[in-house]
Amino acid sequence: MDSLADAPPRLFDLGVGWKHSFAALGPAFFTDLVAAPLPSPYLVGVNPRLAADLRLPTDLLQSEDGVSALTGSLPIAGTRPLASVYSGHQFGVWAGQLGDGRALLLGEVESATGPQELQFKGTGRTPYSRMGDGRAVLRSSIREFLGSEAMHGLRIPTTRALSVTGSDAPVRREEIETAAVVVRVAPSFIRFGHFEHFASREQYGELRTLADYVIDRFYPECRATERFGGNAYAAFLEQVSERTAALLARWQAVGFCHGVMNTDNMSILGLTIDYGPFQFLDAFDPNHICNHSDESGRYAYNRQPNVAYWNLFCLGQALLPLIGDEQLTLAALESYKTIFPSELEACMRGKLGLPDAHEDDRVLVERVLQLLAKDRVDYTIFWRRLSHAVATGDPEPVRDQFLDREGFDAWWRDHSARLPAERGATALGMLRTNPKFVLRNHLGELAIRRAKVKDFGGVADLLKVVHAPFDEHPALEDLAGFPPDWASHIEISCSS
């Protein structure tokens, strides 16, 4: 007998208990699979805060075996890697079956905020890879790692990232790049597309199993609803609509463009998910398109709220067989139209330092956005300077950003008249609302360039500031400056 074949495979023990509630849904929902190892993996970045939340020892993760485990090259004891199947609408067109083409769900561990699933991204081909190679490149993996942590630092619902590891294994994109793996973390990675998948195939039993799973686990209040005649599935759709509305308000307020709002990239929990060609706005341009592959501008910044509603409509169609009534389904989508504007107004009032609602607020917001757009003013720096101007009473550093000084002066007068007398406290609140640091494209790009020559200091610096984006970081002041001219020429596409 071959003694090697008899030896048990070496496993990495993270020292935490694993469960896998998704796996219990059954084989119609996924394919069991192991990660395809990458040669000589190295650590690019680890997230000590998230590791601590998950009660994972950071030093163990950073050990040689830990890095292999985070790359999928050394199996982790207690996990059950699987690729889930979903479908979706891409760029407004039904794309049929998609699925985890390069992701593997490992299972879930406990945390202070409830069970969290861990997922690899970039660990090789799956039955859902279609023409893809199952890999993710270092560049886009660093962007996902930092992008998701930046959103978390901004208190915007998002999937998280525990680590990014790399390998010198070549990966072909427009040019030859190298492979990397991100370990993502979320309560669930279920997307609108998971529901569309089973609805499109008229697999209503599986559709119900999936909906019941998500409702029982994440939306249990829907079971006791008195709305929609007690229809739990309609109540569920309404809850998802409301979470999505709140998410979109946060995106718009902070100036975040997702770039690929396909229905397979929409989280059923209202999280920001799948960081591809995303961007935080530099100059304010409502029509900004951050995805170089998006020729028609379907996912332009100012179209995002409507696209989210369109996507919810697709989810509604998928849930219709369970809800059982078209009018109820439409009614469950209605609240998006009121929640989104009211949440956005609340966000913008926070940015402006206005503690209570006033009927003229919408006009005040509209006017400042028009001024910002006209002069292509830097969005993040504007709000941060405005916060300081409220503290000092001196608008000059804000005014300097505008060509239309008269327009700004008139707006500043009206804004000042609306501010509460207690300016110090107001300004402090604004500084806790308007970040000093966002993950601008050029910052990511500079950190990526360094990482390509194995200098991961830029990634570490960015992680530090995006985790505390409202604080001053005197040693990293450069990361809060205006973007250089070349920043506007960076082209980020779907290629990742």
- Which residues are identified as catalytic? 264
Task: Supply the DSSP symbol for 364.
Answer: H
Q: Give the CA angle between residues 131, 135, 139 to the nearest 5°.
A: 120
Tell which residue, 307, 315, 54, has the closest CA to residue 190. 315
Is the CB of 104 or the CB of 381 nearer to ligand AMP?
104
| Smallest distance from ligand AMP to CB 47, Å | 22
Spell out, one character per residue from 269 to 308, where the chain touches ligand AMP: x when CB under 6 A holds, - when not.
Answer: -----x-x--------------------------------
Q: Give the residue, chosen from 274, 282, 343, 375, that forms a contact with Mg ion under the rule CB under 5 A.
A: 274
132 binds, among Mg ion, ligand AMP, none (CB under 5 to 8 A by kind): ligand AMP
- Shortest spacing between CB 340 and Mg ion, in angstroms: 23
Kind and range of the H or E element at 365?
helix 361-374
Which residue is at the shortest CB distance from Mg ion?
274
Residue 370's DSSP bridge partners are: none
Structure letter (DSSP) for residue 291: -
The one-letter amino acid at 76: I
Nearer to ligand AMP, 347 or 492 (CB): 492
Instruction: Please identify, among the stretches 27-35, 95-103, 175-183, 222-230, the one whose residues bind ligand AMP according to the rule CB under 6 A.
Output: 95-103
What would the DSSP string read from start to end of 398-436?
A: HHTT-S-HHHHHHHHHHHHHHS-S-HHHHHHHHHTTS-S
Q: Of 77, 169, 419, 494, which one interacts with ligand AMP (CB under 6 A)?
A: 494
Min dist CB 282 to ligand AMP, Å, is: 24
Residue 265 in contact with Mg ion, rule: CB under 5 A: yes
Contact indicator for 392, 425 with CB cutoff of 8 Å: no
Residue 101 contact among ligand AMP, Mg ion, none, beta carbon within 5 to 8 Å by kind: ligand AMP
Tokens of 48: 């000590």
Q: How many residues bind Mg ion (CB under 5 A)?
A: 2
| Residue 373, H or E segment | helix 361-374
391 binds, among Mg ion, ligand AMP, none (CB under 5 to 8 A by kind): none
**Please, which residue, 73 or 87, has the CB nearer to Mg ion?**
87
Total binding residues for ligand AMP by CB under 6 A?
17
- Residue nearer to Mg ion on the CB measure, 68 or 496: 496
Q: For residues 319 and 247, what is the distance between their CA atoms, to the nearest angstrom?
A: 21
Nearer to ligand AMP, 276 or 444 (CB): 276
- Residue with the two structure tokens 């299972």: 107
Question: Are the CB atoms for 329 and 314 separated by under 8 Å?
Answer: no
Q: Which of residues 129-148 bind ligand AMP (CB under 6 A)?
A: 129, 132-135
With CB under 5 to 8 Å by kind, the binding choice for 99 among Mg ion, ligand AMP, none is ligand AMP
Q: Which does 117 bind (CB under 5 to 8 A by kind): ligand AMP, Mg ion, none?
A: none
Q: Which of residues 187-246 bind ligand AMP (CB under 6 A)?
A: none
- Alpha carbons 88 and 333: distance in angstroms, whole number: 19
Q: In the beta sheet, which residues pair with residue 171?
A: 177
Handedness of CA 142, 145, 151, 156 (dihedral sign): positive
Site for ligand AMP in 250-269 (CB under 6 A): 260, 264-265
Tokens of 368: 């400042």
For ligand AMP, give the closer residue by CB, 194 or 436: 194
Residues 263 and 200 sit within 8 Å (Cβ to Cβ): no
Looking only at residues 111 through 130 of this chain, which bind ligand AMP when binding is defined by CB under 6 A?
128-129
Which option in Mg ion, ligand AMP, none does residue 107 bind, with CB closer than 5 to 8 A by kind?
A: none
Which stretch, 78-86, 131-139, 264-272, 323-331, contacts Mg ion (CB under 5 A)? 264-272
Residues 6+ apart with CB under 8 A from 68: 12, 41, 74
Judged by CB under 6 A, the stretch of 10-18, 99-107, 148-156, 359-367 that binds ligand AMP is 99-107
Contacts of residue 462, defined as CB under 8 A and 6 or more positions apart, other chains included, come to 146, 439, 443, 444, 447, 479
Query: SS3 string of 143-172?
Result: HHHHHHHHHHHCCCCECEEEEEEEEEEEEE
Give the interface with Mg ion as residue ranges (CB under 5 A). 265, 274
Give the interface with ligand AMP as residue ranges (CB under 6 A). 98-102, 128-129, 132-135, 260, 264-265, 274, 276, 494
